[in-house]
Chains A and B, each alone.
Chain A
Amino acid sequence: MSQDKEILLEIKNLKTYFRTSQGEIRAVDGINLTLSRGETLGIIGESGCGKTVTSLSIMRLIKPPSGRIAGGQVIFQGKNLLDLPEQAMQKVRGNNIGMIFQEPMTSLNPVFRIGEQIMETLITHRMLSRAEARERTLDIMSKVGIPSPQIRIDEYPHQMSGGMKQRAMIGMAIACNPQVLIADEPTTALDVTMQAQIINLLYQLQQEMGMSILLITHDLGVIAEMAHQVAVMYASRVVEQATVEELFRQPLHPYTIGLFHSLPCLGGRGRRLEAIQGQVPNPLNFPPGCKFWPRCSLADQRCRQEEPDLVQIDSNRWVACWRVSKAGGDRIKGLPCSSSRDDGKEGKVIISLQEDSQGQQKDGQLALVEGERLDDRGSALIGSGPYSPARSFEKIIEVRNLRKFFPIRRGFWRRTKAVVKAVDGLSLSINHGQTLGLVGESGCGKTTVGRLILRLMEPTSGDVLFKGTSLYSLKGEALRKIRQKMQIIFQDPYSSLNPRLTVGNIVGEALTAHGIARGRERRALVENLFAKVGLSPSYINRYPHEFSGGQRQRIGIARALALSPEFIVCDEAVSALDVSIQAQIINLLQKLQEEMNLSYLFIAHNLAVVEHISHKIAIMYLGQIVEQMPADKLVKIAAHPYTLALLSSNPVTDPSLRGRQPPLSGDVPSPINLPPGCRFYPRCPRAEKRCREENPELLEREKDHWVRCWLC
């Protein structure tokens, strides 16, 4: 479908290298991409695969002296951007090609007003006067959906929420009506609801302005919602390229297939995630041959020796794999995240496309040599089985009416002017050997709950019982004893490990502190823990910076397991990880739960992940639980408007469903001045008079299904 379209941006054999003290890194190694007018080209891959370097190379923002573009062409409107003099390139940046970045928090200059930062682009490229530029900026701000631009234009970035900042970033990038917009992970740092809004905004802007988008992401859902063409990058190269419909119907490269299988999806519980083993290789020592073979279950002798080229195997499809050819054979069947959610079974052919019949014929020619079937790998039910109250013998954690208020003091006498109700009357319970998933947008109090349960914070009122003992009545030795049984795994594997300690000491520290083991005995225990979380025991004398993100998270898990706890709080434990690593960690957590009969409080904002790992799910909004139910019934019985909104905000890996209206607008309101009635009513599409006046109670709608809503 793209052949007849006008090609706007063409990348030919682009190579970008970085010099380091250990040798040369080939961050982008000979890639070819084309972007047609008015279309979106998605680049997907895990971190370290060269996606961002590709986008920075197009803009010529690779920093010398360490980085250089070693070869290739970037042809934009007939000109090779790599040959342009720097001054001419400045006229392209921000004017013909706009760019938005991943972190809206750090990508805006903190000391200049938002308006100033947008106006700057217009003044530079359009030679507008300040007054004209301000006028245009107001237009742009309303175009990207920033409410009351007259006020917002003079605000500083820190006064805006993450979503607002990303809107401002988009405004800055589209200010001069660029032909191409490069969006580098535009939604990764945002909540699902905000992500849905931003995707919708980009979609609308594209329809309106007809610009082409180069979309870089690691999220298959975002690709499905936005892209027309998709390029899959792995280890500095493109390994597969296809139209989005083709790719989502039938990924061919083993890496692409692995990405799909790593993804937990709503309504697909009980399936073990088929994580790709290992991790993206270090670009300093890529394996010989195909760079994917060490992680590939299909690799043979040839894969180990020769690197395959990207070859066209179909009108819309290029693949770089020796094992995929045009010859006949078995097709790989079944992608786990099918759009038809009702049949949660394995091995389905996916997605009903309009051009289905035509597509089917083509598929017949595509095959995997020797007909090995990827989906035959063990997909037995493990880990989180269905939640059954009968199975739960006793409650390990019981939270009773927990409250945590933070006073805001102001003025000379520091009088309390307002109260932040971070947690307001929360009750829940976690059964032995089970997982409670706690979900909500950022700022709803999830993390505070986790800390309160571990007594890392004192509550304003309420109580937490651990196996029937009140945690807040304990002191001294008794508290220390019980602390051994409760541990936490943190979100950020980079900042939560002390960089000055060896990982062996990090893991073993608690053993010494609680007087359990020292010296040789401790060492043996630590080595044992390392083996348990899938790390080589020989690593124990290394330092955290020597490990990848996934390995560090394993170290974090080993540290939590050191005291043989019974209960672990996983605070966004997999949110910062790449999909394939995320799947490995989720599988590890489930395996450990089975082996050691652990109970988890799994705090996360990704509903699909939570649904996958949990037995029971609690949805939290502004300090209160709004709905609670068994995880396997989430998709079927969810009733609260907020839960429904979260569910439909979750990007669906189905390109045919794109262009949906985002279910929620606006941000989570500040917990300082809470609305008088139901806390959700200002954003609720169904709010009535009663909702505005009275906050509903959490009531049991049917067995094990609790909802806080007047309308349910």
Chain B
Amino acid sequence: MFSFWAKSLVEKLITLFFISIISFSVVMLAPGDPSEIDPLNPKFTQEDIQRLRKAFDLDKPLPVQYYLFYKKLFTNELRSYKDNQPVLKKITERFLNSLPLFLVGTLLTWCLAFPLGIQAALRRQSLFDRSTTFFSYFFISLPSFFLAYVLIIFIVKVFNVPVIGLQTFGRESVSWWYLINDRIWHLVLPSVLSAIGGIAILSRYVRSQMLEVIEQDYVRTALAKGLPPDTVYYKHALRNALLPFVTMFGLTLPGLIGGSVIIESIFSWPGMGRLGYDAILARDYPLILSLNFIAACLVLVGTFISDLLYMVVDPRISLISESKG
């Protein structure tokens, strides 16, 4: 067991190292330069450009830049090119904005997709199954930005709540009760929208997985034992049907970054996705690379969590990893 942890950690660190090199090279070798961000500005002289390049270490060879960049990242000295703010501070701020959106969205997705998918599988070919199938494909094919605008107009017209941004502009000094209400209103719509597509896709997966599992011999065995159908389906079948989703769950973690650029843009939500998007447009290298690095870490942590969860839920896994590796 310990050797599994140690090995996995070492493997992940090595992967991270290579990711850092590749992402650094991709960003640095891409055409364009942060110093050329405003080439038409007549006040921007050649000397200014050289000064900027020097200040940002852009005049040094790439390996040195690589070293300096990660050194600054780990010592929290990294500052944005754009506004000279500490990068980690900016990211933390935006992260805290994104977190509720991500949590509510993910929670909604997983809490609704599973019951829907399971019921559809158990009542195969029924009206319920057919209608969930229809609506799933309907929402999968509907572009989220279109749906978003329709819903925004609807909510503003009916409830008179302007659901743009984190909260209603200019009402910071009202009572706390009103403030919480306002925050929730602003949170619900983007979360629901980001969840809809997820529910539609995930419930399809759950349905097909469940259909496959209830055809298995061990489900027949459980029925032949005289267990009540609920025990058979929700204990014997579901536990097996869940296995592949454990992997998927770990991989939702990177969704924290960039998972909802479209939704955040539509709702002017100051989250991580938009931070990255704006940083790319501004050629704000430190911010791009930091976000990239954090995303890589999240992916690796996600896969690690998946591996661990898998070992918990599937007793066969630990043995296989023992005997083979």
What mask results when residues 168 to 202 of chain A are scored 1 for a CB within 8 Å of chain B, else 0?
Answer: 01001100000000000000000000000000000
- Is B316's CB within 8 Å of the partner chain A? yes
**Complex Cα spacing A101 to B221, Å:** 8
Assess A412 versus B240: contact at CB under 8 Å? Given A93-B223, A158-B315, A159-B319. no
**Complex Cα spacing A173 to B224, Å:** 9
Shortest CB distance B281–A (Å): 45
Tell me if A107 and B217 are in contact (CB < 8 A): yes
What mask results when residues 106 to 124 of chain A are scored 1 for a CB within 8 Å of chain B, else 0?
Answer: 1111111000000011001
Contacts of A103 in B (CB 8 A): 217
- Is B225's CB within 8 Å of the partner chain A? yes
- Is B175's CB within 8 Å of the partner chain A? no
Contacts of B220 in A (CB 8 A): 61, 101, 107
Contact among A95, A106, A156, A412 for B216, CB-based, below 8 A: A106
Contacts of B236 in A (CB 8 A): 109, 112
* Total number of B residues with any Cβ neighbor in A under 8 Å: 30
Contacts of A94 in B (CB 8 A): 224-227
Contacts of B239 in A (CB 8 A): 109, 111-112
**Complex Cα spacing A98 to B223, Å:** 11
Assess A125 versus B3: contact at CB under 8 Å? Given A109-B221, A110-B240. no
Chain B binding surface, main DSSP class: helix
Shortest CB distance A121–B (Å): 5
Chain A binding surface, main DSSP class: mixed
Q: For residues 134 through 149 of chain B, which have their beta carbon under 8 Å from a beta carbon of chain A?
A: none
Tell me if B221 and A110 are in contact (CB < 8 A): no
Tell me if A408 and B225 are in contact (CB < 8 A): no
- Is A500's CB within 8 Å of the partner chain B? no
Tell me if A95 and B226 are in contact (CB < 8 A): yes
Assess A93 versus B316: contact at CB under 8 Å? Given A106-B217, A410-B322. no
- Is A409's CB within 8 Å of the partner chain B? yes
Contacts of A520 in B (CB 8 A): none
Assess A110 versus B226: contact at CB under 8 Å? Given A159-B319, A408-B323, A414-B325. no
Tell me if B225 and A172 are in contact (CB < 8 A): yes
Tell me if B3 and A412 are in contact (CB < 8 A): yes
Residue of A nearest to B320 (CB): A158
Contacts of B316 in A (CB 8 A): 110, 156, 158
Residue of A nearest to B224 (CB): A99
**Complex Cα spacing A645 to B204, Å:** 53
Residue of A61, A107, A111, A112 with highest tally of chain B CB at under 10 A:
A111
- Is B125's CB within 8 Å of the partner chain A? yes
Tell me if B226 and A111 are in contact (CB < 8 A): no
Contact among B124, B228, B319 for A90, CB-based, below 8 A: B228
Shortest CB distance A202–B (Å): 17
- Is A378's CB within 8 Å of the partner chain B? no
- Is B184's CB within 8 Å of the partner chain A? no
**Complex Cα spacing A112 to B6, Å:** 28
**Complex Cα spacing A93 to B239, Å:** 23
Tell me if A412 and B6 are in contact (CB < 8 A): yes
- Is A91's CB within 8 Å of the partner chain B? yes
Shortest CB distance B127–A (Å): 13
- Is A92's CB within 8 Å of the partner chain B? yes
**Complex Cα spacing A410 to B315, Å:** 19
Task: Sample 11 A-B pairs with CB under 8 A, ordered by A number.
Answer: A61-B223, A91-B226, A93-B223, A93-B224, A110-B314, A111-B240, A111-B243, A121-B226, A124-B226, A412-B6, A414-B325
